Amino acid sequence: MTRQVLYKGLSAFSSICSMAMSTRILHISDLHFGPPFMPTVAEVLLQSVPLLNPDAIVVSGDLTQRAKRHQFESARRFFDRFADIPMLVIPGNHDVALYRIFERLFRPHALYREIIHPDLNPVLQVGNVMLVGLDSTAPRSAVSNGRLHRHQLRHCEEAFANVPEDMTRIVVAHHHFAPGHDKVLDVAMPGSRRAIDCFVEQKVEMILGGHLHRSYIGNSLDFFPGHHRERGVIIVQCGTTTSSRGKGRERDENTFNLIDAGAKTLTVTHYLYFEEAGEFAPVSKHSFPRQGQAFDPGDAGSGSTST
Ligand SMILES: [Fe+2]
Ligand SMILES: [Fe+2]
């Protein structure tokens, strides 16, 4: 794999065409710095990263438990320890003050912008993957449920407009496009169907998210057959990677996903933390043919690095 540098600014996009054959993304979520945060698990994650050797790290929201300054600063210090690995980070509903009403209404993302990143809808191109992050929080209209606005779908459209056909397009949003199983939020984010229809038009192949505190790896066609029956979008949700807030089948569990984006195949490897062994280890692997490609399971690397 070839590590590419963080690339923002779509106008100069064409200047990097030296695409790697396979790009590896570490997908973590719902870190929840604050009382639920588990420092021991976080340390193991940090030690795992060099072995996993990702080209980029995606954090799909809920960095903090209560959107407090010291919690954001802890998250910032944690991210800084990933050294030079490009990161795409988006906020979750817990990154907006819940009880500080004035702050919630009038400057809901001020601390996030100051300490984590000024852009709530960031774009990252790495290797043969184009990632677009979307802020799905709705501080003024929903306490914990998310929303995506039409201007964000247009933002996606613009970000993907000049992307080469063979590049994998991935959207990252905190809230869930697939209902949770095992009684965990059995309704998807409002407006999910409309958004997925747009993503299909934009040739998005995968959505990464969190919020449910339990993993799901499947396809939008499981829930929204729609009129794009031939492909849909792969949905990859991450449980909580470093907090005690796991739910459903991942109650008290910690997980992350490793995504290998090859030329013909997308592979998602699901990792679970084993407390006695003090390590994350792969527990399942899911391979999907890329749009318009024949299935080639050997295309995206092993995706099964044990840590
Ligand atoms: Fe969360
Ligand atoms: Fe959340």
Are 239 and 214 contacting, i.e. CB atoms less than 8 angstroms apart?
yes
What is the domain extent for residue 266? 23-288
Rounded to the nearest whole angstrom, what is the distance from the C-alpha of residue 233 to the centroid of ligand 1? Answer: 23
- Per-residue model confidence (pLDDT) at position 106: 85
Rounded to the nearest whole angstrom, what is the distance from the C-alpha of residue 250 to the centroid of ligand 2? Answer: 15
- Per-residue model confidence (pLDDT) at position 305: 38
Q: Which residue reads 């038009």 in tokens?
A: 201
Around ion ligand 2, residues with a beta carbon closer than 5 Å are: 62, 92-93, 211
Rounded to the nearest whole angstrom, what is the distance from the C-alpha of residue 125 to the centroid of ligand 1? Answer: 26
Domain for residue 5, yes or no? no
Rounded to the nearest whole angstrom, what is the distance from the C-alpha of residue 90 to the centroid of ligand 2? Answer: 11
Rounded to the nearest whole angstrom, what is the distance from the C-alpha of residue 160 to the centroid of ligand 1? Answer: 28
Domain for residue 12, yes or no? no
Span 22-65, pLDDT tens digits: 999 999 999 999 999 999 999 999 999 999 999 999 999 999 99
Rounded to the nearest whole angstrom, what is the distance from the C-alpha of residue 207 to the centroid of ligand 1? Answer: 17
Which residues, other chains included, contact 7 with Cβ-Cβ below 8 Å and sequence gap of 6+? 13, 16, 124, 125, 126
**Looking at this protein, which amino acid is placed at residue 177?**
F
Are 271 and 307 contacting, i.e. CB atoms less than 8 angstroms apart?
yes
**Looking at this protein, which amino acid is placed at residue 123?**
V
In order along its 307 residues, the chain shows pLDDT tens digits of 433 333 333 333 333 333 447 999 999 999 999 999 999 999 999 999 999 999 999 999 999 999 999 999 999 999 999 989 999 999 999 999 888 888 888 899 999 999 999 999 999 999 999 999 999 998 887 777 899 999 999 999 999 999 999 999 999 999 999 887 777 777 888 889 999 999 999 999 999 999 999 999 999 998 887 666 677 899 999 999 999 999 998 999 999 999 999 999 999 999 999 999 999 999 999 999 998 887 776 665 544 433 3
Q: Which residue reads 């009382």 in tokens?
A: 35
Rounded to the nearest whole angstrom, what is the distance from the C-alpha of residue 211 to the centroid of ligand 1? Answer: 5
Domain for residue 305, yes or no? no
Q: Which residue reads 């852009």 in tokens?
A: 119
Rounded to the nearest whole angstrom, what is the distance from the C-alpha of residue 159 to the centroid of ligand 1? Answer: 27
Around ion ligand 1, residues with a beta carbon closer than 5 Å are: 30, 62
Please, what's the largest Cα pairwise distance for the chain?
54
Q: From residue 88, give the alpha-carbon distance in Å to each of 26, 59, 61, 84, 173.
A: 10, 6, 10, 13, 11
Measure the CA–CA gap between 148 and 175, rounded to whole angstroms: 9
CATH code, domain with 242: 3.60.21.10
Are 172 and 155 contacting, i.e. CB atoms less than 8 angstroms apart?
no
Indicate the number of domains in the chain.
Answer: 1
Rounded to the nearest whole angstrom, what is the distance from the C-alpha of residue 31 to the centroid of ligand 1? Answer: 7
- Ligand that lies nearest to the alpha carbon of residue 185, given by its number in the listed order: 2
The b/e string for 95-111 (b: 16+ C-beta within 10 A; e otherwise) is bbbeeeeebbeeebbeb
- Ligand that lies nearest to the alpha carbon of residue 137, given by its number in the listed order: 2
- Per-residue model confidence (pLDDT) at position 18: 36
Q: Which residue reads 């929303």 in tokens?
A: 147
- Per-residue model confidence (pLDDT) at position 228: 66
Detail the DSSP E strand segments found in 110-201.
Answer: 123-126, 129-134, 168-173
Domain for residue 227, yes or no? yes
Are 160 and 132 contacting, i.e. CB atoms less than 8 angstroms apart?
yes
Rounded to the nearest whole angstrom, what is the distance from the C-alpha of residue 67 to the centroid of ligand 2? Answer: 12
Domain for residue 296, yes or no? no
Domain for residue 77, yes or no? yes
Rounded to the nearest whole angstrom, what is the distance from the C-alpha of residue 183 to the centroid of ligand 1? Answer: 16
Domain for residue 57, yes or no? yes
Are 32 and 242 contacting, i.e. CB atoms less than 8 angstroms apart?
yes
- Per-residue model confidence (pLDDT) at position 9: 33
Rounded to the nearest whole angstrom, what is the distance from the C-alpha of residue 3 to the centroid of ligand 2? Answer: 30
Domain for residue 303, yes or no? no
- Ligand that lies nearest to the alpha carbon of residue 241, given by its number in the listed order: 1
Tokens representing 101? 């009403």
- Per-residue model confidence (pLDDT) at position 173: 98
